[in-house]
Amino acid sequence: MNNAISNNFLTKDELFYIKKVIESEINKRKSFDSVLNGQDVKYNLSEYTVRSSDMGRITLRNLPLTKSISDKFFKYAKEITGLTDLIKSGNVFAEYNAKYGTPCLMPHYDVGEPNVLLDYQVYSNIDWPLIINQKEYLCKDNSVLNIYNVSQMHYRVPKVFNNNDHLGVLFFNYFSPSLKINKTISDQDFNDIAKEVTVCQKNLNQSA
Ligand SMILES: [Fe+2]
């Protein structure tokens, strides 16, 4: 289960198109607040912008992207993982911004079936590294990183966002029937890391 970053992934026109879709969907969708990232509601979440102040972010499920863009990510996901049985299971856009709350992403595993996730960075004006199984990855705009998000612990390095700091990422989820859950971090280590990161984030917030 390797992770890799591929830079300059989309063409200028494709990136421009994605940004336009995001802008238009944010303007079009009604929004609501949820501390559970929308898991506590029964609405069709693809019609809403979900704001999670505890994570300082908004999320929009299932952006209407063109087939050619969606296929470009799909093809890459199969190439980078070597999994030929991948099945598309939707996309989610997330923007972290202090205007939405306190941006943070604590150590966690995503829940559900064995999954592959492509994490595509759309825009940012900050560096905000992602840690996957204790290894740091710094993405740039228009770069894509693959994560086995159900098996690999992941989080963002604690950071205080100043006004106007922001980072927008687009996640593509894929399910693989042949992929098995394979957690290589012990529960004890996971708990220790989670505690440490939580304290660090708390201290940063207090000193900000
Ligand atoms: Fe996650």
Tell me how far the alpha carbon of residue 50 lies from the centroid of ligand 1, in angstroms. Answer: 16
Res. 208 pLDDT band, cuts 50 70 90: confident
For residue 108, the CA-to-ligand 1 centroid distance in Å is 6
Per-residue model confidence (pLDDT) at position 35: 61
Helix (H, G, I), strand (E, B) or coil at 3: coil
CA 131 / ligand 1 centre spacing (Å): 11
Task: Report yes or no on whether pTM surpasses 0.75.
Answer: yes
List, as ranges, residues with CB under 5 A of the ion ligand 1.
110
pLDDT at 2 over 90: yes
How far is residue 145's CA from residue 6's CA, in Å, rounded to a whole number? 7
| Residue 42 scores a pLDDT above 90 | no
Ligand 1 center from residue 164 Cα (angstroms): 24
CA of 77 to the centre of ligand 1 (A): 17
Report whether pLDDT(39) > 60.
Answer: no
CA 153 – ligand 1 centroid, Å: 8
Mean pLDDT of 101-129: 95
- Distance from Cα 152 to the centre of ligand 1, integer Å: 9
- pLDDT, position 90: 94
Are the beta carbons of 86 and 78 closer than 8 angstroms?
A: yes
Q: What is the pLDDT of residues 147-162, one digit of tens each?
A: 999 999 999 999 999 9
Residue 40 is predicted with a pLDDT of 56
Fold of 5-207: Jelly Rolls (2.60.120)
Q: How far is the CA of 117 from the centre of ligand 1 (A)?
A: 9
Per-domain boundaries in the chain: 5-207
Question: What is the C-alpha to C-alpha distance for residues 74 and 72, in angstroms, rounded to an integer?
Answer: 5
Q: What is the pLDDT of residue 36?
A: 55
pLDDT at residue number 46: 83
Q: Which residues are paired to 108 by β-bridges?
A: 154
